[in-house]
Amino acid sequence: MEKMEFEKIKERIILFNEIVDRLQNSSFLKKEIKKKLSYAVKFRYEKEKTNVKTKINGPTDESINAFLLTYRMFIYNKDDVSFSKVDKYAYRCSSLKEKFYERFKIIVKNTNDIFNSPTNVTSDGHKFTVREIHDMFIKGNLAHIQEKNKNRRLYKDYKDNQLIYTIFNYEFVSTLVKIMNEILSIKKLNNEVLEFLSTQDV
């Protein structure tokens, strides 16, 4: 392994782990998510009209927003620690490919399987996937907001529907926790890679 390649791989993996540590220390994971995530729906009939009240027990919007500022660095391709760039510029390199790449691909596949799985939410005949709800919240309300974007339109369509919005919110927060577990799996694999690199002569 060339010294320059070695240093770039090591630098990227260390940076990935440092940013994971930042997420692990966030209030979203340290405090808020310890609350049992759940939601409740109450129906009340009054004079041929149904009133719906919903309540969700879980992280505050503030803690979610703070968490997402860092979390999205792993999911979208713009940042150096995104899954795709760690794949291309670290695990796919010849020095790591044979020993670690298959395990990395399994974690990425697990992540994609989570995103592509269907939810229990159907609206207007369409069954939403986890990815659709995930992107609707992030790209439609919390980041990358563009009024013409389909995620923004979806978010605006559903935000005033108290029942559906509560269920969407529950699915979204559950997804963040599941994806965070996969990110932690990459961090664990990264530690093995760093140990391996420490034994290599460059």
Alpha-carbon span 34 to 31, nearest angstrom: 6
Q: Please give the torsion angle defined by the CA atoms of residues 85, 88, 89 and 93, in that order, rounded to the nearest 10 degrees.
A: 160
Q: Which two tokens stand for residue 147?
A: 């009024």
For 84, other C-beta atoms within 10 Å of its C-beta total 14
Entry pTM = 0.85
- Contact between 170 and 37 under an 8 Å Cβ cutoff? The reply is yes
The answer to whether residues 56 and 170 touch, using CB atoms and an 8 Å cutoff, is: yes
53 falls in which pLDDT band (50, 70, 90)?
Answer: low
At 117 the three-state DSSP class reads coil
- pLDDT mean across residues, the chain: 84
Residues 104-111 have a mean pLDDT of 97
Query: Which pLDDT belongs to residue 49?
Result: 62
Q: Residues 6 or more apart from 12 whose CB is under 8 A from it?
A: 80, 81, 85, 86, 89, 90
Instruction: Give the pLDDT confidence of 2-33 residue by residue, as tens digits.
Output: 777 788 899 999 999 999 999 999 988 876 66
Spell out the alpha helix ranges (H) of the chain: 3-24, 27-30, 61-75, 83-86, 94-96, 102-116, 130-137, 150-158, 162-197
